[in-house]
Copies of this chain bind each other. A is one copy, B any other.
Amino acid sequence: MRLTRDRVLAVALDVLDDAGLDRLTMRRLSAALGVETGATYWHFRSKQELLEHMADALLADVAIGLPDDRPWDELVPTLARRLRRALLSRRDGARLFSGRFFPLPNALAYGEALAGQLARAGLDPRSAAWAGDTLTYYVVAHVTEEQLTTALPDGGEAARARLDAGLDPQWHPHLVAARSDLAAADPDEHFEHGLALVLAGIRETARQQPTRRAAR
């Protein structure tokens, strides 16, 4: 079957899913596509470019079909949860996303939707963009850690044991007190806790905006 950009992308995401980001190589991908290694480079100039488009492909549905009759403080968490789901949809999805700058269509649509909702909250353009960044940073970093521990072969058991070995009740009383809530405790709960925290911060920031407008 002849190669297309879309097919390379689709197979690359499958390879990511069952090999992981570190073992996703141009050679392995080409083998999965049934072509020689060089062939892939006709469709993507570099591995970097391929990874960016893979990351953007993950975001395909995050910003579409967002209801427009709901308040901003419902839609902002919705966007955050959708981003988390998108990153969780493939192995190492968050690591694929982070440390990469790709102003591609789906990423821009997500950023725009988020900034739009934050503008409805009464934030000026700069605050809206920056508050959006803060929220996105939170989601990406959370899922990065989530996939680091949860998606491990042993479900994070070794990581938890390593943490316990490092903790000393004498020196780390507060961490020991929270021991069961550390390193791969219930990820949904953990996520929602931080999301609520960031949202509370956004609400507070909106309250302090001088040019506050009513939600439309």
Footprint of B on A, CB under 8 Å? 95, 98-101, 103-105, 108-109, 111-112, 115-116, 119, 125-131, 133-134, 136-138, 140-142, 144-145, 148-149, 159, 162-163, 165-167, 171-175, 177-178, 181-183, 190, 193-194, 196-205
Contact = CB atoms under 8 A, between A and B. Distances in A.
Query: Quick one: copies of this chain in the complex?
Result: 2
Contact of A178 (B128, B134, B173, B182): B128
Contacts of A173: 112, 116
A61 B136 CA distance: 28
Q: Find the residue from A116, A133, A145, A173 having the highest chain B CB count within 10 A.
A: A133
B125 A134 contact: no
A205 B200 contact: yes
A205 B140 CA distance: 22
A131 B177 contact: no
Contact of A142 (B137, B144, B148, B194): B137
A190 B119 CA distance: 17
B174 A129 contact: yes
21 contacts: A98-B144, A99-B148, A103-B163, A104-B166, A108-B175, A116-B173, A125-B174, A127-B193, A129-B174, A129-B181, A130-B190, A131-B194, A131-B197, A133-B190, A134-B198, A136-B141, A137-B138, A196-B201, A200-B200, A200-B201, A201-B201
